[in-house]
Amino acid sequence: MIITNIGELVGIVPEGVLRKQGAEMAETGVIKDAWLAVEDGRITGFGQMADQVGHDGGRIVIPGSDRESIDAQGGMVMPAFCDSHTHIVYAGSRDGEFLDKINGLSYEEIAARGGGILNSADLLHETSEDELYRQAMERVREMMAKGTGAIEIKSGYGLNPADELKMLRVIRRIRETVPALVKSTFLGAHAVGRGYTHESYVQAVIDMMPQAAELADFVDVFCDEGFFTVDDTDRILTVGAACGLRPKIHANELAVSGGVQVGVKHNALSVDHLERTTDAEINALRGTETIPTMLPGSSFFLGIPFGRAKEFINAGLGIALASDYNPGSSPSGDIRFVMALACIRMRLTPTQALNAVTLNSAYAMGVSNITGSITPGKRADLILTHPGWTLTKIPYTYQTPFIRQVFLNGQVVK
């Protein structure tokens, strides 16, 4: 397949660049009036229409030949979005809590009344594995149609061994049945399961680890006030590492929790949320492999601070952005809206926001070597926009439909 007459081909990144940090986040990687070739689901080349020369210097064969060709009519082509933090395997909805929230209760108050994560755990317990898969797949299909091509999904609404494993099996089944790339995270330590004491539940999570590790790629802990302590996190991550699971941490959403530092200590791939951070967190992240990940959809929905993304970037760090799609704090998997919040509320430029939801979010789920940018050899995970769209208009006119087609692994999904 070849796409011709691309107004702007955006998100070009040289081979071997796995994330963008600091000033690099301002690089758009753009060619105007471009073409792009795809073979066997991979990006094989791109260049300018005028010279019809590929990135490797070879001449390309423009339409009318044996290749299927798509005329972009001046539309943009960009990498599909990557969403490195979601909780989309959940049962039913928490719309009752939405009303509680409107009536003034905070996230913590709803949780303290037995709502929140425990409410989702009760619903999940009653729901069959097939039904859970069916409900989650509706969300996956919606996300793919909105341009997302790689999704990390967490457990954490099971909160006992049988239900946590049920969730992880559902995530595996999604991975096996969708064209999007799917990564799986064991978040047993999301809240203390019913019927356990805090201490007995931490031990239960530790005991689940070997079985969870057969299904999951990563381990996560909600290291925050009222949930799990730095000490609990340290213990859980130590056992996770012994089972081959690298951490991705929930930290600093409700308080300055020490979660960033314990994540860095365990070489976490990412530390996520970070609505409440001090300079100590920024300093702890410098020079590490851990990418700070912010979730502006949950800041928006919960009415809590947005992360200090600009200050992180000015300190030379790269940041990723993700949806946190879940029924309690961010009931949306729309990455375009995440970009809009990043630009409007966190003052990122559209280019910084794009890098944060593509290459850097791919890095935060360990797949930036195979997706997240326009790079020869990477999966053809692409968004083709309607004619007339530019990168800036995507977060600016943030509700006008902009997607003409989505390709994942070279296949049309929308």
Residues that bind ligand NIG in the complex, under the rule CB under 6 A: 87, 116-117, 120, 222, 250, 253, 298, 324, 326-329
Contacted entry of Fe ion, ligand NIG, none for residue 325, CB cut-off 5 to 8 Å set by kind: none
How far, in whole angstroms, is CA 401 from its chain's centroid? 21
217 binding Fe ion? (CB under 5 A): no
**Two structure tokens written together for 220:** 């996560």
Question: SS3 for 317?
Answer: coil
Q: How far apart are CB 97 and ligand NIG at their closest, in Å?
A: 9
Report long-range pairs for 392-395 (Cβ below 8 Å, ≥24 apart): 392/350, 394/336, 394/339, 394/350, 395/336, 395/339, 395/340, 395/342, 395/343, 395/344, 395/350, 395/353
Considering only CA atoms, give the Rg of the chain.
Answer: 21
Smaller CB separation from Fe ion, 86 or 371? 86
224 is a contact residue toward Fe ion (CB under 5 A): no
C-beta of 158 vs 328, nearer to ligand NIG: 328
Q: Give Cα 67 to chain centroid, integer Å.
A: 33
* Residue 350's binding partner out of Fe ion, ligand NIG, none, with CB under 5 to 8 Å set by partner kind: none
- Torsion angle (degrees, nearest 10) of CA 21, 26, 31, 36: 40
164 touching Fe ion, by CB under 5 A: no
Measured from the CB atom, the residue of 44 and 155 that comes closer to ligand NIG is 155
Q: Which two tokens stand for residue 410?
A: 């070279």
Residue with tokens 């381990």: 219
Q: How far is the CB of 156 from ligand NIG (least distance, A)?
A: 7
Q: How far is the CB of 301 from ligand NIG (least distance, A)?
A: 9
Longest dimension (CA), the chain: 68
Count of positions on this chain that bind Fe ion (CB under 5 A): 1
The least distance separating ligand NIG from the CB of residue 390, rounded to whole angstroms, comes to 32
| Six-digit token string for 237 | 């991550």
Q: Which does 298 bind (CB under 5 to 8 A by kind): Fe ion, ligand NIG, none?
A: ligand NIG
Q: Which stretch binds Fe ion (CB under 5 A): 163-171, 257-265, 317-325, 347-355?
A: 317-325
CA 372 centroid distance within chain: 11
Look at residue 252 and give the partner it binds from ligand NIG, Fe ion, none, a contact being a CB closer than 5 to 8 Å depending on partner kind. none
- CA dist., res. 293 & res. 290, Å (int): 9
* Cβ atoms of residues 256 and 230 within 8 Å: no
Give least dist CB 90 to Fe ion, A.
11
Q: Pairing between strand 69-71 and 148-154?
A: unpaired
Work out how close the CB of 190 gets to ligand NIG at its nearest, in angstroms, rounded to a whole number: 6
292 contact choice in ligand NIG, Fe ion, none (CB below 5 to 8 Å, kind-dependent): none
Residues with Cβ within 8 Å of 30's Cβ and at least 6 positions away in sequence, in order, are 8, 9, 10, 12
**Amino acid identity for residue 31 in this structure:** I
The CB-of-119 to Fe ion minimum distance in angstroms stands at 16
Q: Which does 81 bind (CB under 5 to 8 A by kind): ligand NIG, Fe ion, none?
A: none
Given Fe ion, ligand NIG, none, residue 120, with its beta carbon under 5 to 8 Å by kind, binds ligand NIG
* Min dist. Cβ of residue 87 to Fe ion (A): 6
If one counts every other C-beta atom within 10 angstroms of the C-beta of residue 65, the result is 10
- Enumerate residues 344-363 that contact Fe ion by CB under 5 A: none
Counting contacts by CB under 5 A, is residue 324 touching Fe ion?
yes
Which residue number, 247 or 327, has a Cβ lying nearer to ligand NIG? 327
- Where do contacts with Fe ion occur on this chain (CB under 5 A)? 324
